[in-house]
């Protein structure tokens, strides 16, 4: 008998459409259902995907026996509630970032995963950018030496209309913050993944160029348990959107990147420093799209994360980013906000 493919469903059809696209084109799953309260978005998905059931009621989605995996793509403060209910109903879940907007709520997802035994992954897709593999490898192998300093900068731009659209963005209640919790949480995740556990943060924040309640700029001094330090800045005021800087300096050398693109690779102990940098920049200096042109079967972004989730369920293994990992970024973001509010250093 032919084995049934895994049934995939998507809850929330904003960025959820990227999840639906990935599930629809996956060879290892069938996109069987989508769910949203917004009829226009639902009908658009119904037109785009053949044989997909359209739900407005999450409880009805949970009762659909064809659904094995649900991507939770709702406003950030709704993640824990819906992810926990899905796992309790016997569904595996892939949760959009941030895991939720407080460490307490985000921890409920990890608790439900452990209790129900369902598979739960989190979308931190930037870990799988082309340039992250060699950077992580340079750290793990000791090539970069002992880490001394990191500088991280998420210098993005968002028009006021971005915050007005949807109503939940830039609010403490639903977004949990602004430029840091929403846009820069990916880079916070990369910072802790590359540099290790955080010991303390000392931060400032403000609202400079938007009519919102949270922040559109944060600046932090981060100290790590290893003794290393970093600066971390985030903003949605850097017109027209400048860069995502990830810069690491160790006793063995220096690496600088902008988002998925490697910019600087200087290794003290390389047999031929210039030749090694030229080779690394030719491989990883063009970003994901350049690497895709050499390796067309490689996936990045949401396609990679959704496929990893599907294969994790199929093969009974953990997905690449688990809730306990994603919880670390939520804790760091909330510590930055606490430090900025109180004017005091927050220790972990
Ligand atoms: N990984 C990434 O790069 C990335 C990019 C964008 C957004 N996100 C995250 O994805 C999440 C969603 O963001 P978005 O930009 O798609 O938001 P959005 O507002 O565009 O979409 C959310 C959708 O959820 C629907 N919804 C709300 N309550 C519902 C309910 N009870 N039942 C069914 N549907 C419901 C809304 O109608 C809306 O269509 C956020 O947590 C955001 O941080 C991640």
Calculate mean pLDDT across residues 245-259. 98
Rounded Cα distance between 93 and 86, Å, is: 7
The CATH number assigned to the domain with range 127-294+330-347 reads: 3.30.360.10
Q: Is the CB of 126 under 6 A from ligand 1?
A: no
What mean pLDDT is predicted for residues 175-180? Answer: 98
Q: Is the CB of 235 under 6 A from ligand 1?
A: no
| Cα 16 to averaged position of ligand 1 atoms, centre (Å) | 7
pLDDT, one tens digit per residue, over 9-36 is 999 999 999 999 999 999 999 999 999 9
7 CA to middle of ligand 1, Å? 21
Across the chain, mean pLDDT equals 96
Task: Give residue-wise pLDDT tens across range 204-246.
Answer: 999 999 999 999 999 999 999 999 999 999 999 999 999 999 9
275-290 tens-digit pLDDT = 999 999 999 999 998 8
**58 Cβ closer than 6 Å to some ligand 1 atom:** yes
- The SS3 of residue 161 is helix
Please state the atom number of ligand 1 nearest to the C-alpha of residue 185.
43
The Å distance, Cα 252 to ligand 1 centre, comes to: 42
Sheet with strand 261-267: strands edge to edge: 261-267, 253-258, 243-250, 147-155, 229-235, 217-224, 198-206, 346-347
Query: Is residue 299 predicted with pLDDT exceeding 90?
Result: no
Pocket test for ligand 1, best of 17, 36, 326 (most atoms within 8 A of CB): 36
Whole-angstrom distance, CA of residue 148 vs CA of residue 139: 12
Q: Is 20 in the pocket of ligand 1 (CB under 6 A)?
A: no
**CA-nearest residue, atom 34 of ligand 1:** 36
> Residue 121 pLDDT more than 80?
yes
Nearest CA to ligand 1 atom 18: 14
Which atom of ligand 1 sits closest to the CA of residue 38?
37
Q: pLDDT at position 203, please?
A: 98
Q: Give the pLDDT band of residue 2 (cuts 50, 70, 90).
A: low
Q: Write down the residue that tokens 């943060």 correspond to.
A: 201
In short, whether 35's Cβ falls inside 6 Å of ligand 1 is yes
Distance from residue 55's CA to the centre of ligand 1 (Å):
16
- Centre of ligand 1 to C-alpha 226, Å, is 36
The angle formed by the CA atoms of residues 256, 216 and 227, to the nearest 5 degrees, is 45
86 pLDDT higher than 70: yes
Cβ–ligand 1 distance for 46 under 6 Å, the answer no
| Closest residue to atom 24 of ligand 1, CA basis | 12
- Predicted confidence at residue 62, as pLDDT, reads 98
Model pTM above 0.75: yes
Tell whether ligand 1 has an atom less than 6 A from the beta carbon of residue 76: yes
**Residue range 111-125: mean pLDDT, rounded:** 98
In percent, how much of the chain has pLDDT > 90? 95
- CA-nearest residue for atom 6, ligand 1, is 15
Percent of the chain exceeding pLDDT 70 equals 99
Residue 318 CA to ligand 1 center (angstroms) comes to: 24
Instruction: Select the CATH number that applies to the domain covering 6-125+300-320 from these four: 3.40.50.720, 3.40.190.10, 3.40.50.970, 3.30.420.480.
Output: 3.40.50.720
44 lines ligand 1 (CB under 6 A): no
Per-residue pLDDT band at 166 (split at 50, 70, 90): confident
Q: Give the Cα separation of 179 and 226 in Å (integer).
A: 27
Burial readout 125-160 (b: 16 or more C-beta within 10 A, e: otherwise): bbbbbbbbebbeebbeeebbbebbebbbbbbbbbee
Q: Where are the domains of the chain?
A: 6-125+300-320, 127-294+330-347
DSSP reduced 3-state for 175: coil
Q: Do domains 6-125+300-320 and 127-294+330-347 have the same CATH topology?
A: no
pLDDT of 4 strictly over 90: no
């Amino acid at each position: 008998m032919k084995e049934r493919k895994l049934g995939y469903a998507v809850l929330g059809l904003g960025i959820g459409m990227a999840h639906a696209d990935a599930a629809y084109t996956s060879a290892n799953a069938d996109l069987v259902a989508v769910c949203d309260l917004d009829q226009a978005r639902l009908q658009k998905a119904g037109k785009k995907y053949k044989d997909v059931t359209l739900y407005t009621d999450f409880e009805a989605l949970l009762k659909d026996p064809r659904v094995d995996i649900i991507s939770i793509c709702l406003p950030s403060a709704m993640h824990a509630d819906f992810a926990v209910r899905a796992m309790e109903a016997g569904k595996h879940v892939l949760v959009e970032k941030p895991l939720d907007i407080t460490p307490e709520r985000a921890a409920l997802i990890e608790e439900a995963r452990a209790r129900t035994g369902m598979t739960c992954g989190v979308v931190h897709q930037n870990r799988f950018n082309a340039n992250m593999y060699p950077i992580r490898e340079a750290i793990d192998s000791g090539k970069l030496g002992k880490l001394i300093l990191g500088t991280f900068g998420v210098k993005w731009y968002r028009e006021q209309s971005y915050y007005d659209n949807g109503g939940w963005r830039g609010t403490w209640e639903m977004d949990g913050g602004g430029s840091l919790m929403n846009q820069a949480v990916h880079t916070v995740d990369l910072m802790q993944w590359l540099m290790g556990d955080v010991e303390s943060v000392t931060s400032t924040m403000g609202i400079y160029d938007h009519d919102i309640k949270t922040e559109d700029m944060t600046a932090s001094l981060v100290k790590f348990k290893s003794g290393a330090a970093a600066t971390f800045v985030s903003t949605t005021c850097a017109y027209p959107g400048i860069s995502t800087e990830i810069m690491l300096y160790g006793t063995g050398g220096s690496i600088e990147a902008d988002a998925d693109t490697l910019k600087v690779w200087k290794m003290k102990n390389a047999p031929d420093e210039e030749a090694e940098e030229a080779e690394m920049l030719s491989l990883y200096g063009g970003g994901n799209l350049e690497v895709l042109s050499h390796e067309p079967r490689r996936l990045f972004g949401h396609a990679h994360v959704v496929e990893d989730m599907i294969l994790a369920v199929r093969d009974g293994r953990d997905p690449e980013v688990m809730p306990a990992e994603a919880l670390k970024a939520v804790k760091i973001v909330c510590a930055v906000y606490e430090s900025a509010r109180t004017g005091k250093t927050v220790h972990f």
